[in-house]
Amino acid sequence: MTAPDIDHMRITTIEKHILDEQRHHPEATGILTSLLYDLALAGKVIASKTTRAGLAEILGRTEDTNIQGEVQQKLDQFADRTIFRMNDHTGRLAVMASEENEGLIAISEHYPTGKYVLVFDPLDGSSNIDFNIPIGTIFSIYHRLSESGPGTLEDCLQPGRNLVAAGYIIYGSSTMLVYSTGDGVHGFTLDPTVGEFLLSHPRIRIPQEPAYFSVNLGNRKYWSEGVKQYTDYLQGIVGQQKALSLRYVGSLVADFHRNLLAGGIFYYPADTKDPNKPSGKLRLLYEAGPLAFLAEQAGGYASDGKMPILDILPRALHQRTPLFIGNRDWVEKAEEFIAQYG
Ligand code: AFP
């Protein structure tokens, strides 16, 4: 057998990996497998656009403003439509919700509904598009709670503990898909020459020692005393430990991905900057929940400063939450500082 043949046998495509995982669950029907595969396909389509964004007329802002009051960019809408169109007719979903849409995204009455619920942020970090900085798609999959027919708001407003699967696709120096179905976190890198996601990071664990902390330090004056003290602690100003390096991209998927692989803490705390956003900027359902699921699966932890993100019961689709996520010990330290100093 020649060397190239041996290499070929070692390659695990995302399809093979998802199917192998399914085999560990004899009761599985294959519907989740197909849903994950459709998301991987959507990721490839979005990646093909994002990598050409600088060239295409698609780059630039539209007139529209999304539900969060942010200017939507054309790539946001493209990503949103791509995920919707790949999933609306398959009979796998009861309902969808997206960060770009105010209400539920219903499945057309022309198509059957299924047992899963898909919640997604089609293009997180989109204000970075113009600057060639990594952006990402984040997705969450739940079982529906309602029995049958069109999915309901309650189907979407589930705590992260109920997640069946979650993941993200990062469009950076390469495109990667990272996901978990509750049995570890696995990362795949898109090989553009063959158009396949290949297993590159099996069973990711957050390294024991954090290398970085990631926060928008420009907001310091709007933080509570506890968050200020915690930041001083990470910088080695308070306490005995060595200072961590600061890395902040301002694109959550990119900041989370780096800290997942290198060890670190990302936080976007509550602040007083905008009275309309007393809980900070990030959304519980679309951003914090799925990444908290991945963090715990990789041996880390995510908190809102007081309790686990995964235990928060969402009350609204676009609810925001403070987020501290990364190495467990260091996130728990944030909870301690906030409990002590507020
Ligand atoms: P955009 O999608 O508007 O670029 O926001 C990105 C984001 O939701 C998240 O990806 C970042 O971590 C965070 O906002 C950055 O916010 P600041 O610019 O306030 O630091």
| pLDDT, tens digit (0-9, with 9 covering 90-100), for 290-331 | 999 999 999 999 999 999 999 999 999 999 999 999 999 999
What residues form DSSP beta bridges with 257?
A: none
In sequence order, the 6+-apart residues with CB closer than 8 A to the CB of 267 are 213, 214, 215, 227, 322, 323, 324, 325, 334
Provide φ and ψ at 65, rounded to 5°.
Answer: -120, 135
Q: Answer yes or no: are the C-beta atoms of 309 and 289 closer than 8 Å.
A: yes
Q: How confident is the model at residue 6 (pLDDT cuts 50, 70, 90)?
A: very low
What is the distance between the alpha carbons of residues 50 and 135, in angstroms, rounded to a whole number?
9
Q: What is the pLDDT of residues 220-230, one digit of tens each?
A: 999 999 999 99
Atom of ligand 1 nearest to the CA of 127: 4
**Which residue, by CA, sits nearest to atom 12 of ligand 1?**
252
What is the distance between the alpha carbons of residues 125 and 121, in angstroms, rounded to a whole number?
10
Atom of ligand 1 nearest to the CA of 251: 10
For 99-132, b/e burial (b = at least 16 CB within 10 A) is bbbeebbebeeeeebbbbbbbbbbbbbbebbeee
What is the distance between the alpha carbons of residues 277 and 339, in angstroms, rounded to a whole number?
21
Q: Answer yes or no: are the C-beta atoms of 89 and 111 closer than 8 Å.
A: yes
Return the best residue to mutate from 74, 127, 215, 267 for the ligand 1 pocket (most ligand atoms within 8 A of CB).
127
Residue 65, Cβ neighbours under 10 Å: how many? 11
Nearest to 140 by CA among 309, 290, 327: 290
What is the token pair recorded at 207? 């390294």
Region 225-254 average pLDDT: 95
What is the distance between the alpha carbons of residues 281 and 33, in angstroms, rounded to a whole number?
32
Atom of ligand 1 nearest to the CA of 128: 4
How many angstroms separate the alpha carbon of residue 305 from the centre of ligand 1?
19
What is the distance between the alpha carbons of residues 219 and 226, in angstroms, rounded to a whole number?
14
Region 245-271 average pLDDT: 98
Beta strands in 103-243 (DSSP E): 105-106, 116-124, 135-143, 165-171, 175-180, 186-191, 196-201, 212-214
How many angstroms separate the alpha carbon of residue 125 from the centre of ligand 1?
5
**Ligand 1 cavity residues, CB under 6 Å:** 70, 124-128, 216, 250-252, 255, 281-282
Q: What average pLDDT is seen over the chain? A: 92
What is the token pair recorded at 333? 């330290």
Atom of ligand 1 nearest to the CA of 68: 3
What pLDDT was estimated at residue 8? 52
How many angstroms separate the alpha carbon of residue 123 from the centre of ligand 1?
11
Check pLDDT > 60 for residue 61. no
* pTM of the model as a whole: 0.93
What pLDDT was estimated at residue 260? 98
Atom of ligand 1 nearest to the CA of 70: 3
Provide φ and ψ at 273, rounded to 5°.
Answer: -65, -45
Nearest to 94 by CA among 128, 118, 121, 130: 118
Nearest to 324 by CA among 251, 231, 249, 192: 231
Nearest to 326 by CA among 307, 306, 308, 299: 299
What is the distance between the alpha carbons of residues 138 and 213, in angstroms, rounded to a whole number?
21
Return the best residue to mutate from 124, 249, 287 for the ligand 1 pocket (most ligand atoms within 8 A of CB).
124
Atom of ligand 1 nearest to the CA of 266: 12
End-to-end, the C-alpha distance of the chain in Å comes to 65
Choice among 56-65, 151-160, 167-176, 252-261 with the minimum mean pLDDT:
56-65
Question: Going edge to edge, which strands form the sheet with 175-180?
Answer: 105-106, 93-98, 116-124, 135-143, 165-171, 175-180, 186-191, 196-201
How many angstroms separate the alpha carbon of residue 40 from the centre of ligand 1?
24
**Which residue, by CA, sits nearest to atom 6 of ligand 1?**
125
How many angstroms separate the alpha carbon of residue 250 from the centre of ligand 1?
5
How many angstroms separate the alpha carbon of residue 252 from the centre of ligand 1?
6
Check pLDDT > 50 for residue 4. no
What pLDDT was estimated at residue 210? 94
Region 212-227 average pLDDT: 98
